[in-house]
Amino acid sequence: MKEGKAGTASGVRQKPETTTVQSIACGGTGGDLTAVDARDGKIVRIRPVNYLDTYTEEELAPSMWKIQVGDEVFTPGYKSAPNYFALAYKNRVYSKNRVMHPLKRIDWEPGGDPAKINAKNRGKSKFERISWDEALDIIESELRRVIDKYGPYTVLCIGEDGHRESKDLHAGGGMHATLMSKLGGYTRETRTPDSVEGWYWGAKHFWGSGCNKGLGMPAPPQTGYNPWHVLKDISENSELIAFAAGDWELTQNYASQMWSRLLKFWEKIGKEFVVVDPFCNYTAVCHDTIKWIPILPNTDAALDFAVMYVWITEDLYDKEYIATHSVGFDKVKAYVLGEDEEGIPKTPAWAAERCGVPEWTIKAYARNRANKVTASVHFSSGAIKGPYSHEPGRTHAYLLGMQGFGGPGVQQAFMNASLIGKETIARSTSAPFTSTTQSRMFYPSVQSLPRTMVARALQEGQVTWWGSPCIVYVDTTEQFQEFNYPAPADQGGSKIHLLWSEKPCNMSCWDGGFNYQDAIRSDEVECFITNHQWLENDSLFADLVLPVTTCIEDDDTVGASMVVSMRSAALTPSGCDRVGESFSDFEIACKIAERFGLRDEIDMGMSYAEWHKYGFDQSRLGEEISWEDFQKRGYYFPHQDPDADSVLPGMRGFYEDPESWPLDTPSGKLEFWSDALAENFPDDFERTPMARWITGGPKSDGWYHDESLWGERCHDYPLLLVANPARFRVHVQGDDIKWFREIETCKVKGKDGYLYEPIWINPDDAEARGIEAGDIVKVYNDRGTILTGARISERVIPGSVMVHKGSRVDPIAPHLDRGGSTNLISPTDQVSKHCKGFAVSGYLVEAAKVEDAEMNQWKTEYPDAFARDYDPAIGINYRSWVED
């Protein structure tokens, strides 16, 4: 911590400002460094860090990577480029939505008596302030009660291990699991491969798990995939950058402005850009050289098959590569040409009817890709998150394979593979360089549940699934394993009756949010605890809410490693006083553990300073900087490996010598047809051994989804909703930042003064429904209704509407919400029968103007919902839900 000069105001000498370095990001792995200036324990401003204030150019030189094409150079620079989310974080710390004290739902009492837990009132009744002693007494008694009655696995530990604050020792989301592991066990809620759904369930069966390692984990040599220098290779060799399923201008929300800077660099060196998206997203808007191809949501596979048709019939693909590097192409070729049992050629005309892209555009796109060295770019490795997303996940991969995947410039780049250089001391490509609590967030458990199946488990009492997606860095064969809840009784398995969530965002970040609300309103859930900084989403449905510090308030260490300009390790001491009576998740776990005589097993008897030194010693930082120097400087950038240029980028090893660099598929090659899928799931007509055009159908015929314009439900719900990530938040994080909400495109002010989440609707669709700009619009299907504000624009394709996902819920009544969170009305069934991921985009809805009579009826029926305190600057807030 540094002190600045004291200033004067009206002749009164002010106390000097203090400055701390912080690593603020909402991806959980740290961001570009920021300087937090404070006075009297309060944040004054947050700004970038000038590295030359701490290091000389000579000292920084070994850490600086460089990409040079012609006279243009792309480097990190000597000043950090924090994401705008971090620069506005003062708004988050001092939000009127901060949880200041422990809270208890006013009509809930511990003990498990249905008459006293009033489960049906979760999300309806308000909270009252209680003391920490009372909160700890309740938690201790409830844990002892449910463990004695049902066993330890009755506690479900819900942890938002990805989209959370960046913390290390103080645990951005997961110390409850550490504690419960000391109390005998718990049920683990496993995270599905959310940002890589289509790729995980689809493309892994094409190219194996090796490419997955590009998410951050280093690939073993036999997989042939290495993430180093993929962006460098694209910069030097690619001619066309094809953006599919992603908006790279939004990725800076996670950690830094690196992607924005990279796109500008690519523009300067003459790259051609094409964006395929139902919405003309911010990447397309911000860059003049980008061509936008509007497409109906969840129809990418049809477009891809038509591209393949053009390539095959016009001899525009790499036949030699296909012959030597793949198996099963003949089956896909027959399917595309209509020479199989289906007999339907996948021509551009066929695709145009399905995806909404004109036939001539499809042909031009196909020929342009074929005639240029093309790199495929995704938001996060094929982030198509709709029903049957494994199909476009595979077809996107097929296109790369047909162009010689791994060759110079023929690469896949995505958000998590943001590695340009190769550091000399990296422990891995994803974990921070200092490691204390991050690696201890979750302990093995004999009982688990995928996050997408919690609601069903509560409602049905038992569930079965295949492939436990607890981590995406696994061998593909893991998807063929069957899992069950509850676990066998002889292993201690039991039903869950207590939910404990840290960083709660299940209902607004995952699938089937309204159904999740129904499930936790069940008497089966006897106690629901959340630890959270802000009173929002799942916390509104909790019985106990514990106040938590923000990352700026903690004395911590953070290693920034994903989507940053330069990966770093930093000491991040407290930058301001704590708000209210908040404690970190680590401290809360220690307090509860003390009640059970287990505190030493949580904090190991170490002070924060000792933990920081322990983390340093566990890392490889000591190979390049001493602990004393690290303490003095406060942060460090690992040196670049001088031999990094000899490392092959991406799939180059496999491209050059597939025999020496085999993939970990059964054949060692790219598999257009997967024998493994054929053997393990021979009757699965939703995910067959090769990609197909899958639209779904009625449940009576065995389909999981009927969410296309070619089924039955589209007659009632004729619009396809695409739920893109939001520019001004990451899921719900940042939805209360008032500086962002002042921006016109962030919210739509209704005539009632409420700031609604925008629905982007094409003028033709708006006119057909009598919707005008600024109208309050209900978006609905058979799963429920959310309210939005109309923004009419040709930036969205006709037949589709776009609502950014992740806004805060504001419940009016069951299955009726004012906040506009699309996840509430997304499908409750997962990707498909054997793929327990989530489908949160590309599904059917209808939109209609909310007339005054309907709004007045709601106000009459649900007066309490409309009487909540509403702050025009941030919306619903702490005072909306807490008794005076």
Q: Are 152 and 508 a contacting pair, CB within 8 Å? A: no
- In the chain, domain spans: 103-186+445-547+584-619, 699-881
Question: DSSP of 727-746, one letter per residue?
Answer: TT-BTTBTTT-HHHHTSTTT
pLDDT the model gives residue 419: 67
Average pLDDT, the chain: 90
Say whether pLDDT at 381 is over 50. no
Q: pLDDT higher for 552 or 493?
A: 552
Confidence of residue 549 (pLDDT cuts 50, 70, 90): very high
d(CA 857, CA 861): 6
pLDDT the model gives residue 843: 97
Half-sphere exposure (Cβ direction) of 332: Cα atoms closer than 13 Å: 34
Indicate the burial class of 659 (C-beta count within 10 angstroms; 0-12, 13-18, 19 or more): exposed
pLDDT the model gives residue 417: 58
pLDDT tens for each residue of 580-636 = 999 999 999 999 999 999 999 999 999 999 999 998 988 889 999 999 999 999 999
Say whether pLDDT at 217 is over 50. no
Q: Kindly report which listed range (165-174, 278-287, 821-830) carries the lowest average pLDDT score.
A: 165-174
Say whether pLDDT at 525 is over 80. yes
d(CA 522, CA 117): 10
d(CA 79, CA 58): 15
pLDDT tens for each residue of 691-704 = 999 999 999 999 99
Confidence of residue 218 (pLDDT cuts 50, 70, 90): very low
Say whether pLDDT at 21 is over 80. yes
Angle at 124 between CA 120 and CA 130, to 5 degrees: 100
Say whether pLDDT at 472 is over 70. no
The tokens for 332 are: 């896909």
Q: Looking at the domain 699-881, which fold is it?
A: Barwin-like endoglucanases (2.40.40)
pLDDT the model gives residue 473: 58
d(CA 263, CA 271): 9
Q: pLDDT higher for 815 or 158?
A: 815
d(CA 865, CA 742): 24
Q: pLDDT higher for 620 or 217?
A: 620
Nearest to 350 by CA among 392, 317, 308: 308
Q: pLDDT higher for 422 or 320?
A: 320
Say whether pLDDT at 432 is over 70. no
Nearest to 32 by CA among 727, 557, 568, 619: 568
Average pLDDT over residues 572-587: 97
Q: Are 689 and 666 a contacting pair, CB within 8 Å? A: no
pLDDT tens for each residue of 176-192 = 999 999 999 999 888 87
pLDDT the model gives residue 440: 46
d(CA 146, CA 84): 44
SS3 at position 676 = helix
d(CA 792, CA 395): 32
Which H helix or E strand runs over 306? Answer: helix 300-313
Q: What percent of the chain has pLDDT over 90?
A: 72
pLDDT the model gives residue 174: 76
Nearest to 75 by CA among 89, 94, 60, 90: 60
Average pLDDT over residues 415-423: 69
Q: What percent of the chain has pLDDT over 70?
A: 92
* Distances in whole angstroms, Cα of residue 520 to Cα of each of 90, 149, 741, 772: 33, 20, 31, 37
pLDDT the model gives residue 470: 56
Average pLDDT over residues 555-560: 90
Say whether pLDDT at 6 is over 60. no
Say whether pLDDT at 575 is over 50. yes
Q: Are 828 and 187 a contacting pair, CB within 8 Å? A: no
Sign (positive or negative) of CA dihedral 792, 795, 796, 802: negative
User: For domain 103-186+445-547+584-619, is the CATH number 3.40.50.740?
Assistant: yes
User: Tokens 């837990």 appear where?
Assistant: 117
CA–chain centroid gap for 80, Å, is 24
pLDDT tens for each residue of 817-868 = 999 999 999 999 999 999 988 899 999 999 999 999 999 999 999 999 999 9
d(CA 476, CA 664): 9
pTM confidence score = 0.95
pLDDT the model gives residue 823: 95
pLDDT the model gives residue 215: 37
Nearest to 294 by CA among 198, 196, 393, 361: 361
* Distances in whole angstroms, Cα of residue 291 to Cα of each of 241, 288, 793: 11, 8, 18
Which H helix or E strand runs over 414? Answer: strand 412-414
Q: Which residues, 6+ apart, have CB-to-CB distance to 443 below 8 Å?
A: 177, 178, 181
Average pLDDT over residues 769-788: 98
Q: Which residues, 6+ apart, have CB-to-CB distance to 706 below 8 Å?
A: 696, 697, 698, 699, 712, 713, 844
- 706 forms beta bridges with 696
Confidence of residue 212 (pLDDT cuts 50, 70, 90): very low
